[in-house]
Amino acid sequence: MGGMKLVILDRDGVINFDSDQYIKSPDEWRPIPGSIEAIARLSQAGYRVVVATNQSGIGRGLFEMDTLNAIHDKMHKTLALVGGRVDAVFFCPHTNTDNCECRKPKPGMFKEIAARFNADLAGVPSVGDSLRDLQAAIAVGARPILVRSGKGAKTLVNPELPAGIPVFADLAAVVSHLLGAAP
């Protein structure tokens, strides 16, 4: 598969600030400083950037699909201004009790990404701030990377955190590492 370079990103807590009340409107979607520019650096280095995000607020009735689309429009437009792009957004709208295959830590979204891009996810960097992001990545052989932003600080002290997962301050630091730039 001619070596397509792929990176998988969680959304809330990695690209934008997270909220315990969910991100329910475009106004509530606020990028973490440096994250938008970091995605642009990936885009310009030839990476396909894909977002995989649990959005159970839909299943809970807190917001509708058109709102999620509007939030993602804002993300795409914000990226376009600095020459970045997200090639696809995969989301799970279900709640814990739906017992779906797509809600992380289950790897359903990752398998969809592999199918859509006809890609082997072995070793593909997958950046998240929660344990379930890392577990979904591990399940498909991707390379889990933890950021301290979002819920990352809590995840760091979770006794279930697998050993040996690299930890970075934020997405900007991850991208500097991936692109081999000085930190």
| N residues, the chain | 183
Residue 99 has pLDDT above 90, yes or no: yes
Model confidence at 131, in pLDDT bands (50, 70, 90)?
very high
Is residue 81 situated within a structural domain? yes
Query: Do the domain assignments include residue 40?
Result: yes
Residue 131 falls inside a structural domain? no
Residue 167 included in any domain: yes
- Tokens standing for residue 53: 């995000």
User: Catalytic residue positions?
Assistant: 10, 12
CATH code of the domain containing 73: 3.40.50.1000
pLDDT at 107 over 70: yes
Is pTM, for the whole model, over 0.85?
A: yes
- Distance from the Cα of residue 61 to its chain's centroid: 22
Residue 181 has pLDDT above 60, yes or no: no
CB of 134 closer than 8 Å to CB of 162: yes
Q: What is the pLDDT of residue 158?
A: 97
Residue 47 within a domain: yes
Nearest to 19 by CA among 52, 11, 107: 11
Q: Is residue 183 situated within a structural domain?
A: no
pLDDT digits (tens, 9 = 90+) for 82-94: 999 999 999 999 9
pLDDT over 60 (residue 182): no
Mean pLDDT of the chain: 96
Please say whether the dihedral angle defined by the alpha carbons of residues 46, 143, 107 and 98, taken in this order, is positive or negative: negative
pLDDT at residue 2 tops 80: no
Confidence of residue 4 (pLDDT cuts 50, 70, 90): confident
The boundaries of the domain holding residue 103 are: 5-125+136-178
Total tally of structural domains belonging to the chain = 1
pLDDT for residue 133: 98
At residue 120, does pLDDT exceed 60? yes
